[in-house]
Structure 1
Amino acid sequence: MGTRLLATTAALSLLFTGTAVADEQQVDRRIVQEGLDQITATAAQGVQLRVTAGRERFTARSGTAELDRTRPVPVNGRFRAGSITKTFTSTVVLQLAGEGEVELDAPVERYLPGLVDSRITVRQLLQMTSGLFNHTDALGFSPQEFEPIRYRQWSPQELVAISTSRPLQAEPGTKYEYNNTNYVLLALLVEAVTGRSWERSVEQRILRPLRLDDTTLPRGNTGIHGPHAHSYGLVDGRTVDTTRWNPSVFWGAGDIISTTADLDTFFAALLGGDLLKPAQQAELTRTTAVSPGYGLGLFVDTLPCGATILGHPGSVPGFASYAYTSADLQRRAEFSATASTGTGDPTPGYFQVLTEIFC
Structure 2
Amino acid sequence: MARYRTPTVLAAASLLLTALCAGQAPAAAPPGRVDIDPVIAEKLDDAITAVMREAGIPGVGVGLWIDGNDSYVRAFGTSDKATGIPIKTDMHTRIGSVTKTFTITAVLQLVDDGRVRLDAPVSTYLDGVPGGDEITVRQLAEMRSGLYNYTEDPRWLATFKADPYRSWTPQELLDIAFRHPADFPPGARWEYSNTNTVLLGLLVEKISGQPLHSYLEQNVFEPADLDATSLPTGADIAGPFVHGYTNFTPDGATVDASRWNPSWGWAAGAMISTIDDLHSWVPTLVSGKLPDGDRLLEPGTQAQRLRMLPTGHADVRYGLGIAELDGWIGHNGELPGYETVAVRLPQARATLVIVVNSDVDGKFGSLSSLVANTVTKIVTPEHVWSLPPEAQPNAVPEPSAPPASPEPSS
Check conservation: 2:340, 2:354, Cα contact below 8 A: yes
How has the CA–CA distance of structure 1 residues 189 and 71 changed in structure 2, closer, same or farther, with 3 Å as cutoff? Answer: same
* 2:317 maps to 1:293: yes
**Partners of 2:304 and 2:361 in 1: CA distance:** 41
Check conservation: 1:44, 1:342, Cα contact below 8 A: no
Q: How do 1:135-150 and structure 2 match up within 5 A?
A: 135-138=150-153, 146-150=160-164
Task: Give 2:299's aligned residue.
Answer: 278
Q: Indicate the SS of the match to 1:269.
A: helix
How has the CA–CA distance of structure 1 residues 177 and 222 changed in structure 2, closer, same or farther, with 3 Å as cutoff? Answer: same
Task: Give 1:305's aligned residue.
Answer: none
**Partners of 1:226 and 1:267 in 2: CA distance:** 23
Q: Indicate the SS of the match to 2:151.
A: helix
Report Cα offsets for 1:247-290 as digits up to 9, x if no partner: 11011001110011111211212322321001101011102356
How has the CA–CA distance of structure 1 residues 343 and 68 changed in structure 2, closer, same or farther, with 3 Å as cutoff? Answer: farther
How has the CA–CA distance of structure 1 residues 290 and 53 changed in structure 2, closer, same or farther, with 3 Å as cutoff? Answer: closer
**Partners of 1:244 and 1:103 in 2: CA distance:** 38
Q: Which segment drifts farther, 223-232 or 184-193?
A: 223-232
* 2:268 maps to 1:253: yes
**Partners of 1:340 and 1:88 in 2: CA distance:** 23
**Partners of 1:162 and 1:132 in 2: CA distance:** 11
Q: Which segment drifts farther, 264-273 or 162-171?
A: 264-273
Report Cα offsets for 1:170-225 as digits up to 9, x if no partner: 11001100111100000000011111111111111111112211111111x21321
How far did 1:67 drift?
1.5
Q: Indicate the SS of the match to 1:293.
A: strand
How far did 1:38 drift?
3.5
**Partners of 1:285 and 1:326 in 2: CA distance:** 13
Percent identity between matched residues is 34
Q: Indicate the SS of the match to 1:270.
A: helix
Q: Indicate the SS of the match to 1:44.
A: coil
Check conservation: 1:233, 1:239, Cα contact below 8 A: yes
How far did 1:355 drift?
2.6
**2:242 alignment partner, one of 200, 219, 229:** 229
Task: Give 1:352's aligned residue.
Answer: 374
Q: How do 1:112-261 and structure 2 match up within 5 A?
A: 112-117=126-131, 118-138=133-153, 146-219=160-233, 221-234=234-247, 235=249, 236=251, 238-261=253-276
How far did 1:34 drift?
3.0
Check conservation: 2:34, 2:380, Cα contact below 8 A: no
How far did 1:50 drift?
1.2
How has the CA–CA distance of structure 1 residues 218 and 140 changed in structure 2, closer, same or farther, with 3 Å as cutoff? Answer: farther
Q: How do 1:86-125 and structure 2 match up within 5 A?
A: 86-117=100-131, 118-125=133-140
Q: Indicate the SS of the match to 2:58.
A: strand
How has the CA–CA distance of structure 1 residues 327 and 294 changed in structure 2, closer, same or farther, with 3 Å as cutoff? Answer: same
Q: Going by fraction, where is helix more abundant, 1 or 2?
A: 1
* 2:57 maps to 1:25: no
Report Cα offsets for 1:322-350 as digits up to 9, x if no partner: 10101247111111101176745145543
Q: Indicate the SS of the match to 1:49.
A: strand
Check conservation: 1:31, 1:353, Cα contact below 8 A: no
How has the CA–CA distance of structure 1 residues 329 and 192 changed in structure 2, closer, same or farther, with 3 Å as cutoff? Answer: farther
Check conservation: 1:264, 1:332, Cα contact below 8 A: yes
Structure 2 residue identity aligned to 1:48: G
Check conservation: 1:109, 1:116, Cα contact below 8 A: no
Structure 2 residue identity aligned to 1:193: I
**Partners of 2:276 and 2:100 in 1: CA distance:** 18
**2:352 alignment partner, one of 333, 336, 346:** 333
How has the CA–CA distance of structure 1 residues 123 and 69 changed in structure 2, closer, same or farther, with 3 Å as cutoff? Answer: same
How has the CA–CA distance of structure 1 residues 206 and 310 changed in structure 2, closer, same or farther, with 3 Å as cutoff? Answer: same
Runs of at least 5 residues in structure 2 that lack an aligned partner in the other structure: 1-5, 20-26, 290-295, 382-410
Check conservation: 2:10, 2:323, Cα contact below 8 A: no
Task: Give 2:342's aligned residue.
Answer: 323
Q: TM-score, normalised by structure 1?
A: 0.87
**Partners of 2:330 and 2:101 in 1: CA distance:** 8
How far did 1:63 drift?
1.6
How has the CA–CA distance of structure 1 residues 119 and 233 changed in structure 2, closer, same or farther, with 3 Å as cutoff? Answer: same
Q: Which segment drifts farther, 161-170 or 264-273?
A: 264-273
**Partners of 1:141 and 1:317 in 2: CA distance:** 15
How far did 1:116 drift?
3.0
Q: Indicate the SS of the match to 1:321.
A: strand
Q: TM-score, normalised by structure 2?
A: 0.77
Task: Give 2:52's aligned residue.
Answer: 40
Check conservation: 1:74, 1:227, Cα contact below 8 A: no
**Partners of 1:169 and 1:240 in 2: CA distance:** 34
Check conservation: 1:33, 1:61, Cα contact below 8 A: no
How has the CA–CA distance of structure 1 residues 245 and 328 changed in structure 2, closer, same or farther, with 3 Å as cutoff? Answer: same
How far did 1:25 drift?
3.0
Report Cα offsets for 1:291-325 as digits up to 9, x if no partner: 770000000111xxxxx110000101110001010
Structure 1 residue identity aligned to 2:375: V
